[in-house]
Amino acid sequence: MERKIDCFGMLDLMMRPGFCVKNTEIVHVNPAAQAFLLTVGTDIQTLLLTGQEEYRAFTDGCLYVKLALSAGSCGACVVCWEDQHVFLLDLEEDEAVLRVLALAARELREPLTSMMLCSDHMYSSESDPDASARMNRSIHQMLRLLGNMSDAGHSISVSRQETLDIAALLAEIFEKAQTLTEQTGLTLRYQGLPGEVLGLADGQQIERAVLNILSNAIKFTPKGGTIDAALTRHGKMLRLSITDSGSGIAEGILRNVFCRYLRQPGIEDSRFGLGLGMVLVRAAAANHGGTVLIDQPSGKGTRVTLTLAIRQSTETTLRSPVMRIDYAGERDHGLVELSDSLPLAAYQK
């Protein structure tokens, strides 16, 4: 009983809205979450918009789900506390921060375009290949950061989906990523599914989510290590698991991994970056009717599991997909999304 009081007290001290669930029922709501009209005794399964099956199997790690609340849909991180689950809700202020970042990214794209043109000229002169490569990698890193800043502000609710072979899409993504990962001294192995898996999907959004997960795995896995990825099907859901052989994520960081962009700068390992990549990962999962789970299956390393619903279009007429501007400025997406992880040699012409 004393442990339960500790849990409730901890939650009540938080400014982030949250509540505790035990045996699928809400048992405590902190003051910050009372505006959502959550009631003690409510079955959490009735509030889940995504992740019903994933939540039933959830025992450890950090799970991101979507909830149907009084004010509309809301994202939530779920973590374990003894025999209870703690739900921490997204704040409206968080989305406001992301929108500000998106505006800043838009203003920075013009000077970056000029830098890209200068970089292309340096490549053609070939006066200093190493300097050109450093410039090229820096531009790819800026493209990645600006892309994350720009899209994190609207990808939460915007997704351009069309009928795709999702299995083939993922196979292509990993085939390209394997070639790049070899340059880091790591081994990337992927096990896909035979045959087609047709469903509504935003190919670019899924690609960016997968590459962001791989970027983190590469950064936290020492040379000689492995990254194993596997795609499995469970009824109308696809489950993509990516597991690295690194040191894992500390528990305190794991609990806040989906809102890392709120951290104080300079107090942690610089490999964490701003954390906007995980915002895009969780948005991609939610927009495809799925969830994200981060855990440590064998006590070491990190496993990220992305689930996607296999959904069919109900439209009876064909429409051309909406033309979208390439966020990477027509640069190779893998080189952009893995730019914080790849060696300088990957950016030499």
Q: Which of 68, 281, 273 is nearest to 156 (CA)?
A: 281
Average confidence (pLDDT) over 239-268? 68
What domains can you pick out in the chain, each with its CATH number? 2-90 (3.30.450.20), 93-152 (no CATH), 162-338 (3.30.565.10)
Percentage of residues of the chain with pLDDT beyond 90? 39
Average confidence (pLDDT) over 10-39? 90
pLDDT tens digits for range 55-73: 999 988 899 999 999 878 8
Q: Could you give the CA distance from residue 12 to residue 7 in angstroms, rounded to a whole number? A: 9
The answer to whether the CB of 75 falls within 8 A of the CB of 90 is yes
Neighbours of 323 (CB within 10 A): 6
The confidence score (pLDDT) of residue 183 equals 92
Q: Could you give the CA distance from residue 257 to residue 79 in angstroms, rounded to a whole number? A: 11
Q: What is the pTM of this model?
A: 0.80
Q: Which two tokens stand for residue 94?
A: 């968080």
Per-residue confidence at 174, pLDDT binned at 50, 70, 90? very high
The confidence score (pLDDT) of residue 1 equals 40
The confidence score (pLDDT) of residue 225 equals 93
